[in-house]
Amino acid sequence: MFGLFKNNPTKKMRKQYDALLEKAMHAQRNGDIKTYSLLTAESETLWKEIEKLESTDNAKK
């Protein structure tokens, strides 16, 4: 019942992930491949953290 009020740490991380991918897309469209590569690498790292958190949450249930 009180799980409704529990914070979801991955929700904020997913928003950051989506924002990084959008910035990367705009950098690619503008021809800035170096920035695109850096943002994509950063988003992949963040995605791995999200998957790690979600897998530990699922293991607890």
Q: What is the pLDDT of residues 4-31, one digit of tens each?
A: 667 778 899 999 999 999 999 999 999 9
Q: Is the pLDDT of residue 32 over 90?
A: yes
Q: Is the pLDDT of residue 3 over 70?
A: no
pTM over 0.95: no
Per-residue pLDDT band for 56 (boundaries 50, 70, 90) equals: confident
| Domain tally, the chain | 1
Q: Is the pLDDT of residue 1 over 60?
A: no
Q: Which structural domain, as residue segments, surrounds residue 50?
A: 12-60
- State how far the alpha carbon of 49 is from the alpha carbons of 1, 30, 34, in Å: 28, 29, 23
Could you tell me if residue 7 is inside a domain?
no
pLDDT, residue 8, reads 79
Could you tell me if residue 2 is inside a domain?
no
Could you tell me if residue 1 is inside a domain?
no
What's the rounded Cα separation, in Å, for the pair 51 and 41? Answer: 15
